[in-house]
Amino acid sequence: MSNGRHRDETGAYENGSIAMFGRGTVDTPTRRSSRLLVLAAVLSVGSSPAAVSQPRSPSPARDGPILFENVRIFDGRTATLSPASHVLVKDNTIARISAEPIETGVNAGIRGVAGNGRVLMPGLTDMHWHAMMVRPTPVTLLTSDIGYSNLLAGAEATATLMRGFTTIRDLGGPSFGLKRAIDEGLLPGPRIYPSGAVITVTSGHGDFRQLSDLPRTIGGMLARVEQLGGSMIADSPDEVRMRVREQLMQGASQIKLTAGGGVASPFSPLDVTTFTEAELRAAVEAAENWGTYVCTHAYTPASIRRSIAAGVKCVEHGHLMDEDTARLMAEKGIWLSTQPFLDASPASGLGPAEQAKLAQVVTGTDRVYALAKKYGIRTAFGTDILFSEALAKRQGAMLASLARWYTPAEALIMATSTNAELLTLSGLRNPYPGRLGVVEEGALADLLLVDGNPLEDLGLVADPDRNFLVIMKDGRIYKDTVPK
C-alpha cells in the first residue's frame, strides 16, 4: 500500500473508484485479458448510463399509521382554519381527513397524536437555499476537504428540517450527495430540489477566482470552485449547453444561471448584465429538452428582460426592477422568487465593496414586493442565506418578516402551496412526485403541529423550537414534543 493506491496482480492501480490499468507496467496478453474481463463486467450491468451509476439503497421503513386527533387545519390554500378535524397518515401520504373521529380498530397499530385544538399545517418550503454554503465561510468552502464540507452541510440540513422547512430548492452547490443521503435516511434533512453548480461567466456572480488565476486557458484546469461543483464558468453557448447537461446528468431538477451581477462575488458589479441572450437561450433549450426550466439570478431590469427574452421561467431576486419590467413579468407569467432582505448591517466575510452592494439590494426590498403585489406577479418565498449559521437560525424569522407586506395567511400560503406550485415546473425531473405544500387527502405527508394560530400570529414561525411541537416529513415524525 503506497499513497492510497494498491497494485494487484494485473498491474492495475486502484485509487478510490478509478482504476488506472497498466500504468508503469509492461502490457501482456494476461493483463489485456484482465482489463477486458473487468470492462465486460461493467457493461453487463446494463446498457444505459443509469445502469452503471451508483446503486440506490432502499429507503428506511416508515413509521406505522399516525392519527392526528382534534386539530384545526390550515390547508396551505385558504385563509381560514378548519373546524376540529382528524388526519390519518399512512406510509408517506395523507390518507384521510375527517370532521368525525376516525375509527382505527383495536389492533390497527396506529399511533395517535393529541392535537387538543392546535393548528396542523403543511411543512414550510424555501425556494432559494444553498445547502452546501450555509455554514462555511467562503474561505472555508474553497479550502476545505469536500468530506468536511458535506458533514457540515449534513448538520445544517438537520437543523433546517428542525426549523420546520421540509423542502428546499437548492440554487447552487454540490448538494447531490447530501440529497441522496437524506433520501436514503442516513440523516434527517429536508427534501432537496437540486440545481447543481451555478453556471456563470468569467467575472460573473459565482466566479470566485483571484486575478492571479488569469488568464484562463481554454480547455485548461478547472478552478477550485468548479472542482467542488459550486459554480461552473461558461463563456459561449456551447460551453453553457455542456455545463447545463452536466448538471442534468447528475440529477438537477432545474438549472440556475447568473444573468447579472451579485453581492458576494468580488468581481461582479450589480449593474452588469452577464450572459448574452444566445447563451441564456442555449441553457433554456438544454433544460427544456429534459422537460425542466431555467431560473436566473437577476437584480436589474436589463438582466431580467434578457432572461425573459431567452425563455427563462423564474427570476431570482429582482430587487432593482422597475415598473415596466414588473409589468412584463406579469404579462409573460414569469415567476419571481425573491427574499425579504431587510438588514444592511455589516455581514461577516464581505468586504467594503460587497457591503455597499448589499446595502443597495436591501434598499430595493420594499419596492420589489410593492411591484409584485401591484402587478400580480407570481411570487415565491426564499431566504438565500449564505456563509452564516447564525443567520440560518433566522430562516423562520425571515418568513415572519413578510408581515411587512402580506397578511399572515398570504405569507403562509406563499411559503407552502405557492412555492409547491413553482416546484412543479421541474416536470418529470421532479424528484418527489406528489402534492406538496397542502393538507389534503392524497398529498405527501409533510406536516407541522403548531402551538398557537399562525394565521393570527405569523411570528410563531420565528421560534420553531418552542412553537412547532411535531415536525413530520414524508410520513415520518422527526420531532414530537406534544405534552403527554
Segment 321-333, tens digit of pLDDT: 999 999 999 999 9
- pTM of the predicted protein model: 0.85
Instruction: Give me the pLDDT at residue 16, please.
Output: 33
| Closest-CA residue to 393 (of 456, 461, 471) | 461
Q: How confident is the model at residue 451 (pLDDT cuts 50, 70, 90)?
A: very high
Question: Quick count: other Cβ atoms within 10 Å of Cβ 346?
Answer: 11
C-alpha cell at 311: 425563455
Per DSSP, what are the bridge partners of residue 94? 89
CA distance 438 to 432: 14
The verdict on whether omega for the bond into residue 215 sits within 30 degrees of 0, i.e. cis, is: yes
Q: What is the pLDDT of residue 145?
A: 79
> Maximum Cα–Cα distance for the chain, whole Å?
80
In order of their start, the domains of the chain are 6-52 (no CATH), 66-123+439-480 (2.30.40.10), 124-405 (3.20.20.140)
- Whether the pLDDT of residue 341 is over 80: the answer is yes
Res. 361 pLDDT band, cuts 50 70 90: very high
Per-residue confidence band for 343, with pLDDT thresholds at 50, 70 and 90: confident
Q: How far apart are CA 101 and CA 84, in angstroms?
A: 10
Cα distance between residue 131 and residue 172, in whole Å: 8
How far apart, in whole angstroms, are the C-alpha atoms of residue 126 and residue 165?
A: 7
Which range among 137-141, 142-146, 150-154 shows the weakest confidence by mean pLDDT? Answer: 137-141
Is the per-residue pLDDT at 46 higher than 50? no
The predicted structure's pLDDT at residue 249: 97
Q: Is residue 388 pLDDT above 50, yes or no?
A: yes
